[in-house]
Amino acid sequence: MARIHIASDHAGFALKSELIDQLVAQGHEIINHGCDQATSCDYPDFAHAACTALLADAGSFGILVCGTGVGMSMAANRHAGIRAALCTNEFLARATRMHNNANVLCLGERVVGAGLALSITEVFLNTAFEGGRHQRRIDKITA
């Protein structure tokens, strides 16, 4: 089971709530960094809170949800040590774990339905990093 730092803005609040219910039922440990209601708010505030906590919590994962997933991924990837991937299907979720060792999954509530989002999340959480040549490439990401 995974320990997951999760956050959303207002546009991702409903999907985040659904994911929390499902992931808790599966036995995962969830730390929710807000927002706490679907009132208009700013996605970077919540991306930064979740990423800061994740970086202090070795081995944990992050899930960030906004309307598109794009803003959350941009904010998250400003943190050294965060490799955030916006995924719209299971292929991307599997590949980014295997090749990029992504530690944050970004989702767009206005892009994917709850069923697909949960399936993407399950693939992300259950796929291992392959290491080897992929680690060498990850080491070169930081400019």
Of the candidate residues 31, 70, 92, 95, the single one contacting ligand RB5 (CB under 6 A): 70
Which entry of 10, 28, 33, 66 is annotated as an active-site residue? 66
Is 68 a binding residue for ligand RB5 by CB under 6 A? The answer is: yes
Q: Is-catalytic flag, 99? A: yes
CB of 28 or CB of 106, closer to ligand RB5: 106
- Give me the least distance between CB of 139 and ligand RB5, in Å please: 29
Q: Is-catalytic flag, 41? A: no
Of the candidate residues 13, 43, 46, 61, the single one contacting ligand RB5 (CB under 6 A): 43
What interhelical angle do 114-125 and 13-25 show, nearest 10?
Answer: 50
Q: Which stretch binds ligand RB5 (CB under 6 A): 13-21, 67-75, 89-97, 121-129?
A: 67-75
- What b/e readout covers 16-39, taking b as 16+ CB neighbours within 10 angstroms? bbbbbebbeeeebebebbbbeeee
**How many alpha carbons lie under 13 Å from residue 78 in its C-beta half-sphere?**
12
User: CA–CA separation, 13 vs 109, rounded Å?
Assistant: 8
Rg (CA), the chain: 14
For ligand RB5, the binding residues in 71-90 under the rule CB under 6 A are 71
Closest-CA residue to 12 (of 109, 103, 91): 109
Is 117 a binding residue for ligand RB5 by CB under 6 A? The answer is: no
- Give me the least distance between CB of 12 and ligand RB5, in Å please: 6
Closest-CA residue to 124 (of 80, 77, 89): 89
**Binding region for ligand RB5 (CB under 6 A):** 9, 11, 43, 66-68, 70-71
